[in-house]
Structure 1
Amino acid sequence: MTSRAEPQENWEDRPPPSMAATELLRDLPVTARGVRTRASLVAAARTVFERAGYLDARLTDITKEANCSTGTFYTYFDNKEQIFAAVLDVAQEDMLHPGMGRVRDVDNPYAVLESSNRAYLTAFRRNAKLMGLLEQVSHIDPAFAKLRRDRAETFISRNARAIERLQAAGKADGSLDPLLASRALSAMVSRLAYSSFVSEEPGADGNPVPFEDVVKTATQVWANALGLEGDRG
């Protein structure tokens, strides 16, 4: 028998690693006005990064978008790398991961999976421009690519534990390696989301794929692969 890949331990207690290079982040301002100004710069930077891409984004574009001076920018940030880290630090809480998360309802795992994937796909669609930006930066910045992989692996490990619970309860195919299954299925859903909401690849009829079809397909493929039981609506 082949050995199984081991999910990370203590997956429920460990927060996911930050996608931002936290060593670049300065302390937050101590005044309310400073907090507001910094937040305005971060929001402006996200707009510019999403519009122009990371490589072509300029600090002058960010200050213009924020309606502030270059001097004000340097009060809070040293360079483009720092403000990009700040953008990610703010945005990452809205970036979910496909899968089952801390699944507890083993009586109807399909419903849990559908709900979890719907939440992920909703967040992905809402942040589609940013997700496209992250893909771009991953290809040009090895350090950022590693941060992104490490964060994804934490969520993949959580999904693997959920699969293990379902296997133990007799609700999922016990012959599957839970970690490898989680990695494969998580990648499938994330790429489907990217093609649907970032690349906006059309369906077979040449039209945009309806959101509900994306949710249904992602969930059915995941559930069929695991042999999940439960009400499929």
Structure 2
Amino acid sequence: MSKTSVNTAETLTPRGRRTREALLAAARTVFETVGFLECRVELIAQEADVSYGTFYRYFESKEHVFMELSTQLFEDVHRRLPPDPELSPAERLISSNRAYYRAYRANAKMMAIVEQVATFNEGFRELRQEHRRQLVDRTSRAITRWQQEGKAAPGLDPVLAARAMAAMLDHTLYLWLIQGDAADEAALLDTLDQMCLGALGLTPGAGK
């Protein structure tokens, strides 16, 4: 069928924005229910209770809506409260780890689909890599600052250390929350924190 021009969120009326948000919510439900490969535009339209043609007023394809959902997901995962200056580096690292875990768990179904799609779609693979780069950049800057303050192990390469920590957190949460690896939640999260602190030479409560 011929597609009408796609409306962006900025050009929509309030009613149009509500319809677009309903389509995004419906698309997430369908993706999480049947997966990316089995998802079809008509399923999204049915879930949103709109016509097939209405979908194309707001999105070009299922790939388009999936990209927007994935971007929203990573923005949610990256969203953090400003660090409390009263916390020590160790406490800040633990707080960051726990915030990342909560966001990952809240979005686990979509994270699983993003991981799958990234294996065969270059655009989504680049989005996933950009997500990792943001995590690594933020962590490496913190490690560098702590080294300069004499609070973290001075011999570590900050970027490589941040990459290793991000890989450990990501893969552990993926195996646990997505692949179903059995684990005691409190023990697993405490162990991840201890391993990160040990790797950086940080001591809980030592120095602000």
Q: TM-score by structure 2 length?
A: 0.88
CA contact (8 A) 1:96 1:124 kept: no
Deviations 1:60-116 (A, max 9, x none): 11111111110211221221111112222433321238xx99867597211111111
CA RMSD of aligned residues (A): 2.3
User: Which segment is superposed worse, 140-149 or 34-43?
Assistant: 140-149
Are the counterparts in 1 of residues 70 and 114 from structure 2 also a CA contact under 8 Å?
Answer: no
In structure 2, what is the Cα distance between the partners aligned to 1:84 and 1:160? 30
| Kept after mapping to 2: 8 A contact 1:102/1:158 | no
Q: 1:86: which partner in 2?
A: 68
Q: 2:138 aligned to 155, 158, 182, which one?
A: 158
Quick one: percent identity of the two aligned structures? 39
| C-alpha contact (below 8 Å) 2:36/2:117 kept by paired residues | yes
In the alignment, structure 2 segments of 5+ residues that lack a partner are 1-5
Structure of greater relative contact order (alpha carbons < 8 Å, 6+ residues apart): 1
Shift in alpha-carbon separation, 1:106–1:183, aligned structure 2, 3 A = farther
The correspondence for 2:152, drawn from 157, 167, 172, is: 172
Distance 1:192 1:40, change over 3 A: same
* SS of match in other structure, 1:54: coil
The number of residues matched between the two structures is 200
Rounded to whole Å, the distance in 1 between the matches of 2:130 and 2:170 is 15
Using a 3 Å threshold, how does the CA distance of structure 1 residues 117 and 107 change in structure 2: closer, same or farther? closer
Q: Which amino acid is the alignment partner of residue 37 of structure 1?
A: T
Distance 1:31 1:124 in 2: 33
- Equivalent residue for 1:230? 204
**Which protein is richer in helix relative to its size?**
2
Q: 1:61 — aligned with what?
A: 43
Counterpart CA distance in 2 for 1:142 and 1:192 is 24
Match for residue 119 of structure 2 among 132, 139, 142: 139
Pick one of 29, 52, 56 that aligns with 1:47: 29
**Which residue number in structure 2 is paired with residue 22 of structure 1?**
none
1:74 to 56, 60, 67: 56
1:124-180 deviation digits (Å, cap 9, x = unpaired)? 001000110110110010222122212321220121111011111111110111110
Gap regions ≥5 residues in structure 1: 1-24, 204-208
Q: Which stretches of structure 1, 4 residues or longer, exceed 4 Å deviation after superposition?
A: 100-107
1:220 counterpart (166, 175, 194) = 194
TM-score using structure 1 length: 0.79
